Amino acid sequence: MNHHETLCIKTNTSSSFNARYPLSRRMVLLGLVGAAMTACGQNPKSSIGSSTTATAIPSTTTPSTNQPLLTYPNGGWAVSWSPDGKRIASGRHGKNNNLEIWDANTGKTLLTYTGHTDPVEALAWSPDGQFLASGSSANTNSNTSTTSIQIWHASTKQKRLTYSAHTYTITQIAWSPDGTRIASAALDGTARIWDPLTGKTIHILENNPGQAFLGIQALSWSPDGNFLVTGDYSSGSGGPYPPLTVKVWDTHSGKASLTLDTPGAALAWSPQGNTIAIGQGQFEDHSEAAIHFWDAISGKKLGSLQAIYTVLSLAWSPNGKYIASGGGDTQAEGSDNQVQVWDVSRGKNLHTFKGGLTFVSSLSWSPDSTRIVVGSAGDMTIPVWQAIP
């Protein structure tokens, strides 16, 4: 077995689980503090209008590890596939801070949202596909910059609500599976569970209370919505730091039910509910780059997969059979970084996608578990790859 394939775990597919502040997440990933990613969905019933600001370039050749199915020309740090599988949303750094919704098959731009004045760091579809929640960073070059999460309609662009409880850059957003709550993580050291209708905060969660310079970098809901996992992480700069942790929270009481003494650069809860995947690695030399799997109830470590680069993004396929990991060299934006797709039950690396990526900031699967869209740093294009035939 080579260094790309470390024997992992057998998943039970039948089980269920009923420094001071760096103000940009991009700065964090470039080496000042840490990293993250995830989104979920069900069956929406909405459609959106048309627009024509950009068109992707479909591939005319057989898909390979270096040839995406299509390439969307406008770059995106944050990406998310719609629950109906027809659309992809992407949020930008760089030339502008727009969000775009585009056709997942043709790459045609359907809608552009211009509500954010600062770089878009995270986004997530509501489970019914009608709304998007998008979060921004705090721009250190602007006296008027504010960190916020905006909820807006995916067909009309009408803003429904602005949530401004976080004081520093948003790192991740995820709707609860039933759509009644939103969890958000930020570099202010907190994760918050809140009501998307009223904007009222329900719970404030802290992995390391009193250590706000350790931002919450990743979070993921359990499939039944009863639990939330959060993780903090550090690149090692500006320490020493207190012990880094991953915590599982009861989302109704707001109390921690499980603490894992491990950093959490990226987190993903399996669709079956029995396993939590945690991405890790050292930024300096990518040593310890791996995906570790933990039992979601007992906290027992189940196994690991050795990755090529520090794992900054993770996403389970909706059918629970595969996991995609994205990483990269955070010190070199021109690096040929990679996305790896794994068969979890066999511990086998099925594909490694390259194609001139800078470090991978987000990943999202199509609902049918066959394709992956990849967000990355800079003003790069967005590739869509065929992960599973």
Burial degree of 164 (CB within 10 A; 0-12, 13-18, 19+)? exposed
- Sheet containing 311-316: give its strands across: 311-316, 322-327, 337-343, 348-357
Task: Please tell me whether the overall predicted TM-score, pTM, comes out greater than 0.85 for this model.
Answer: no
End-to-end Cα, the chain, rounded Å: 24
What pLDDT is attached to residue 234? 59
pLDDT digits (tens, 9 = 90+) for 250-309: 999 999 999 998 888 899 999 999 999 999 876 655 668 899 999 999 999 999 999 888
Distance from C-alpha of 230 to C-alpha of 190, rounded to nearest angstrom? 9
**Tally of residues, the chain:** 389
What pLDDT is attached to residue 34? 30
The tally of CA atoms less than 13 A away on the side-chain side of residue 285 is 2
Q: Which of 37-41, 98-102, 144-148, 277-281 has the highest mean pLDDT?
A: 98-102
Least confident of 38-52, 66-80, 215-229, 375-389: 38-52
What pLDDT is attached to residue 324? 98
Residue 334 vs residue 231, higher pLDDT:
231
What pLDDT is attached to residue 285? 57
Q: What is the mean pLDDT of residues 242-256?
A: 91
Whether 153 and 133 have beta carbons less than 8 Å apart is answered as no
Distance from C-alpha of 134 to C-alpha of 170, rounded to nearest angstrom? 9
pLDDT at 68 over 80: yes
Cα angle for residues 48, 130, 277 (degrees, 5° grid): 120
Residue 152 vs residue 19, higher pLDDT:
152
Please give the mean pLDDT across all residues of the chain. 79
What pLDDT is attached to residue 76? 87
pLDDT digits (tens, 9 = 90+) for 4-57: 333 334 433 333 333 223 334 444 443 333 333 333 333 333 222 233 334 443
What pLDDT is attached to residue 6? 36
Phi, psi of 31, deg, nearest 5: 130, 0
Least confident of 10-24, 116-130, 171-185: 10-24
Q: What is the set of domains in the chain, with CATH numbers?
A: 25-315+327-332+350-386 (2.130.10.10)
Distance from C-alpha of 35 to C-alpha of 77, rounded to nearest angstrom? 12
What pLDDT is attached to residue 308? 83
The tally of CA atoms less than 13 A away on the side-chain side of residue 116 is 36
Distance from C-alpha of 223 to C-alpha of 232, rounded to nearest angstrom? 21
What pLDDT is attached to residue 336? 58
